[in-house]
Structure 1
């Protein structure tokens, strides 16, 4: 297990380092053995996938910098040494030092990457391993950067499309809660002194407002508890079946998310095949980039291909194709350019997903604004209906 350590050196300098230890006691003993006094010692948190990387280390940025150095004529060892000299992050420095130590011992670069699976995913290790067979590491790094850029383009479109509706929901919910908890009780106090019968819908709203005002803390605690419980249930479900599979059960989103998953699968397989990785090994590597539901079908298709079936037939039998992608796969089998056809299929569906996101956003945002306006407007109208009745009686 790894521990992040902040320690005080004998000359009163603060030192930051990452060490491998069995437990906290072992880590503290290692720090003291170096003549340091640990002021902070905490285990490194489990690495979460960042944009194109893991554990806060961007594989895209790492690949771009290493690619630039290799294209400038530096060897892999010289390139990693150059990166180490300018790197200030403790985590990446540890990774680079391990890679350099292994290369100086004569180990293969891909094997060293595989030893640090918490940083380098199997997909990255696979393309580097294939590049070692052709002695063309720069091309493999360039291919990975392009691949991640295309994945991030679609993902960023999805995130951007969800930001504005989320803001609308938060603002609309906040305005509605303010009206009910603060404004409605004051109107209720005014109407109680008139001694007049109120319209039943207005009376219901006023009763609810008075209840929310007098039981504000219990309602807030209940809402927070329900939110925490729902969040925990959603996280457990996502951990079990995956976020994409969960959203795929929504009738409107399901078909389009399936296209998104297939597009990512085709793009991954295409990149691996163009890098020289055999189809069976490529399918095994690509299984780590798709949802659990799609992974099962991919593994069955892999077994079918391993037994001699064509890729297009195996994918079709497992529901991993669409009419267009099936035709393109068959063309790739006839021409021997399967990697290119898979990449072109992914590009076709990426464009289709982007167009659907734009159409959905243009349609959904006005509908959401109308719904929020209708809710707020209904509350306001119900508050003023007794005033309208009073004005009619006076006239």
Structure 2
């Protein structure tokens, strides 16, 4: 990202310049090393007009790092190679900062933890476990497989929701056009005709007359309402309230719980296969859970510290389903708990995919029927006086 900086330098005095840096801290630190005192710093183009920050390509970085490690390079040499070949300024600076942290004697996982905006906590935890066992490349491969599976599930949900959202958007536009343009025109015609109208037609045409008289204010009110809704949903508190409401819905809430548990079990299984103890791994992945299940993770950790089995602890924390409970007991007997948790995640992912497919198959025709009936009702109410007039002529 580019920053406009005003500095005070002993040789040049007060000067203004543009600096490419990962963030404001990076830009200020670099200038201070050169002996300059930073007076002010701002992103180029201002807060609203500045270019959007480039997202760090974590999957590509991990794939390239695995390839270099498997080729025989040390971790430092692999990072230096990635830094040299990186063409994007921000990504190159991020890798250089990782190298600088490691040259200070800190481990790779600690360097990753200092950049949570690019490296999730689960990624750093995976690397931390691999540092204890010495199998960094296989651990990164497990994380890459985990992320690909999570992305696959998300893509299924998103692709299934595209058509209903598109249908709702088009239906809203058509209904808005009828209510905002067609109905006011009919209202003018019927007022001039001076005929008695059915009650529902009168209500519809009263709306049309209101739009005709106060159309600009209604448009401004609609824009303000949409802006207020967008602003409200950008706030974490509003999103949390919407999530709580969705969790209380009888059919949807249970499947949201299943979706979260699938991601929870997949993350936990990956950490267990990496060699992290169950209590530590549970503490690392509890942040992935919503508030409804996070308290259950705390209850499960406390139960395991008291010596209870994993299946019993998870059951006491309401972190299981009937299938998960049975498979956890099998994992306790076989000693392959990490593998068993990943099997639980696969089962629930497939269950979620089937439910999403069933729900979209049912919801799409119902939505089409609702939009069609709404549009048809508006049209019938508009033309009902004409039908009555035609009947009186006959």
TM-score (norm 2): 0.87
Q: Distance in 1 between matches of 2:192 and 2:291?
A: 63
1:392 and 2:383 equivalent? no
- Classify 1:56/1:156 alpha carbon distance in 2 versus 1 (closer, same or farther; 3 Å): same
2:112 paired with 1:110: no
**For the residues of structure 2 that align with 1:276 and 1:44, how far apart are their CA atoms?**
47
After TM superposition, list the pairs within 5 Å mapping 1:1-395 onto structure 2. 4-5=2-3, 16-18=20-22, 21=25, 30=32, 33=35, 41=43, 56-236=55-235, 238=237, 241=240, 244-395=243-394
Label 1:153 to 1:83 Cα distance change in 2 as closer, same or farther (>3 A): same
1:183/1:239 CA distance change after superposition, 3 Å = closer
SS, match of residue 213 in structure 1: helix
**Who is 1:49 aligned against?**
none
**Which digits, 9 at most, give the CA deviation of each residue in 1:65-116, with x for residues without a partner?**
2112212222211211121112122322222112222333443211222233
Contact between 1:6 and 1:16, CA under 8 Å: does it hold in 2? no
Post-superposition Cα deviations, 1:338-380, rounded to whole Å, max 9, x if no partner, equal: 1111000000000000111111111101111111111111111
Shift of 1:19: 5.8
How far the C-alpha of 1:299 sits from its partner, in A, is 1.2
Q: State how far apart, in whole Å, the 2-side matches of 1:33 and 1:238 are.
A: 44
1:5 aligns to what SS in structure 2?
strand
Q: Deviations over 1:19-72 (max 9, x none)?
A: 6549x9x67964985799999646999xxxxxxxx9721322221121122122
Q: Secondary structure at the match of 2:250?
A: coil
- What's the secondary structure of 1:248's corresponding residue? helix
User: Which whole-Å CA distance do the structure 2 matches of 1:88 and 1:5 have between them?
Assistant: 19
Residues 1:83 and 1:36: Cα distance change in structure 2 (over 3 Å) = farther
**How far apart, CA to CA, are the structure 1 residues paired with 2:241 and 2:75?**
37
Partner Cα distance (1:233, 1:40) in 2: 27
Q: CA deviation at 1:128?
A: 0.6
**Count of residues paired in the alignment:** 381
Distance 2:175 2:33 in 1: 56
Q: CA deviation at 1:335?
A: 0.9
Question: 2 CA distance for matches of 1:171 and 1:31?
Answer: 57
Write the distance in 2 (CA, Å) between the matches of 1:294 and 1:249.
14
Deviations 1:111-167 (A, max 9, x none): 222233333222111111111122111101100011111111111222222222222
Residues 224-253 of structure 1: per-residue CA shift (max 9 Å, x gap) = 333344444444464673765443223321
| Alpha-carbon distance in 1 for matches of 2:133, 2:356 | 40
Deviations 1:272-296 (A, max 9, x none): 0001000011001011211122111
Runs of 5+ unmatched residues, structure 1: 46-53
Residues 232, 238 of structure 2: 8 Å contact kept:
no
Structure 1 residue matching 2:65: 3-state secondary structure = helix
Question: What SS is found at the alignment partner of 1:118?
Answer: coil
